[in-house]
Structure 1
C-alpha cells in the first residue's frame, strides 16, 4: 500500500486489525438483522454485487454463500487484506466471490451498468468529504438501471464510561483535524446527517433510511464482542491520534486503562448507533434529478 493513498486511521494490514474487522463484520451483520434486512432490497438470483472497501471480506463472503448463483466482488485498497479475503473464498469453496485491490476514492475499473447492488459499510473512517460525491457518481455509473446503492455509517458510540466518551471525542476531533469529517466542530463524525442528502444529490431515487441500535451493555450477549472490538480499535488508533496532535501517548494510555475498567463495571451501558441509507438508480429515460428532495 502506498502511504500517500492511505487515509485509514488504523493500518488495515495490522494483524490485530484484520482479526478485529472479521469479527466486526459478523457483529454488524448480526446486529443489523442480516445481510440485506432492509425492506424492498431484493437481489436477483444471478445478480452482481460490489462491496466497497470490503476489508477481509466478511460481508461479501457470507453473501456469496447465501446467494450461490450471484457474483460478489469486493474491492479494498489493501493488497494484504484482499489476499486474505481471496484465501477465505478459496478455503470455503466460494467460486462466486472475487476480490480486487482498488481505491474507492479513484475511478473503479468496471464497465457501466455492471452491478445490481453496491454495498458499503463504515466508509467514514477513511473517506474524504470531497471524495463522497465522486464515489456516489461512480456508483451511479456502475449500477444497472433500477440497481440499488446501500450504505451504512455510524457516529460515536454512546456509553456511560467517561473515559470511553473522551476517546470518542478525541477520535472525532482527530478526523476533523485530518480533513476526514463532515462535522462542523469536530464533536462527531458528521457522516450520518449528510449521507441521505449526498445519495439524493447523486441522482438516486426512493431514498430510504433505517436506523439500527446495537446495545452492548454489561450482561447482554453482545457486550463482550463489542467490548473486545472497542479495545483493539482504541489501541490501534493511538498512533493516528498522536500524529494529528489531539493527545499524547501517555494521556491515551491512561485513558485506555480507565476505559477498560469502566466498560467492565456492572452498571456499564453502551449503544452502537448506525444508519443505513439506500436508494435506486432511475430505471430509464429522462435526466436524473440530483437536487430533488435535497
Structure 2
C-alpha cells in the first residue's frame, strides 16, 4: 500500500479572519446514527456511509498510533510547502474532515496555537477530557454537505478515505472540499496504496484486502487516480510524494518487498 499527499489553494482574497470564522462554528451540528455491535466490536450505523472499520476504543488506539506513524513518515503533520504557504503561525482556520478521535487536530493545535481547528466526523468519538482551547468538533458527513459556507477555510486535511468512500463518491467529496476552501486555500490529502510487493503471505493478504474493497464498490487504487480527480475539481497539484512503510526492518535483502506505499499530495485552489 502507499500514501499520497496533496494540497490545494485559491487565489482570491478571503474576507474574514480565522477567529471570526471559528466563532461561527462552535455548536455541534447533526448527529450520528448510533452504533451497532458485530463480532464483539462496535461499528457505526450511518446508512449513507461505506466505512467498514470499527469505531470502538480499540480502533481509536489504532488510529492514534497510525497518526504518529504517518507524522514520522512524512516528517511532520503538514508538508513543508504547506508550512510556507498557509498562515498557520499568524492564525489560520483549519478543517480536518473525517477526523476520528482528533489526534491530528490536537497535535496541530498545540503546534500552532494562533490558528483555530475544526474537526468533523460522522460519528462522535471526539475527545472530551483533553482538548486545546483552539479546537472544536462537529458531527457532520461530508457526503451530505458540510455545515460551512463557501470559502471558509485556509487549509483542509483529508486522509485515508480509501475504506470510507465508494468509487463514485470521490468526485463529490473533492468538490465539497473545494467549496469550503477559501480562494488560495490548500488541501492536503494522504492515501494508501495496496500491498503488492513481498513474500507469498504479504501478496495473499494484500489480494484479500483488495478483493474486499472491490466487493464493497470501493477503489483500491484510488491513490493513483486522485491527481486526475483533484484537477477535475479545479485544484492545482503543488506537491506530490510517495513513501513506503516497510512491514519489518528494511535491509538490502528485503528492500524489494514487504512495503506498503503511502501517497501524499498538496493541492492549491484557484
Q: Do both proteins adopt the same fold according to a TM-score greater than 0.5, normalized to the shorter chain?
A: yes
Correspondence for 1:37: 79
**Displacement after TM superposition at 1:140 (Å):** 1.4
The yes-or-no answer on 1:174 pairing with 2:212 is yes
Q: Alignment partner for residue 93 of structure 2, among 48, 62, 72?
A: 48
Structure 2: where are the runs of 5+ without partners?
1-32, 34-44
- Bigger share in strand: 2
Correspondence for 1:185: none
Structure 1: where are the runs of 5+ without partners?
182-188, 221-265, 283-294
Call closer, same or farther: CA 1:135–1:165 in 2, change over 3 Å. Answer: same
Higher relative contact order (CA 8 A, sep 6+): 2
Q: Any idea what SS the aligned residue of 2:144 has?
A: coil
Query: 127-136 or 210-219, which moves further after superposition?
Result: 210-219
**Displacement after TM superposition at 1:36 (Å):** 1.0
**Displacement after TM superposition at 1:177 (Å):** 1.2
Correspondence for 2:61: 19
- The aligned runs of 1:5-16 (5 Å cut-off) are 5-11=48-54, 13-16=55-58
- Bigger share in helix: 1
Q: Alignment partner for residue 223 of structure 2, among 170, 192, 212?
A: 192
Correspondence for 1:272: 260
Q: Alignment partner for residue 65 of structure 1, among 110, 118, 121?
A: 110
Structure 2 CA distance, aligned partners of 1:148 and 1:192? 18
Aligned residues, how many? 222
Structure 1 CA distance, aligned partners of 2:184 and 2:194? 33
Larger radius of gyration: 1
**Displacement after TM superposition at 1:203 (Å):** 0.5
- Give per-residue Cα distances to partners, 1:168-204, cap 9 Å, x unaligned: 21111111111112xxxxxxx1112210011100011
Contact 1:218–1:267 under 8 Å retained in 2: no
* Cα-Cα RMSD: 2.2
Call closer, same or farther: CA 1:38–1:199 in 2, change over 3 Å. Answer: farther
**Displacement after TM superposition at 1:113 (Å):** 1.1
- The aligned runs of 1:153-168 (5 Å cut-off) are 153-158=191-196, 160-168=198-206
Q: TM-score, normalised by structure 2?
A: 0.76
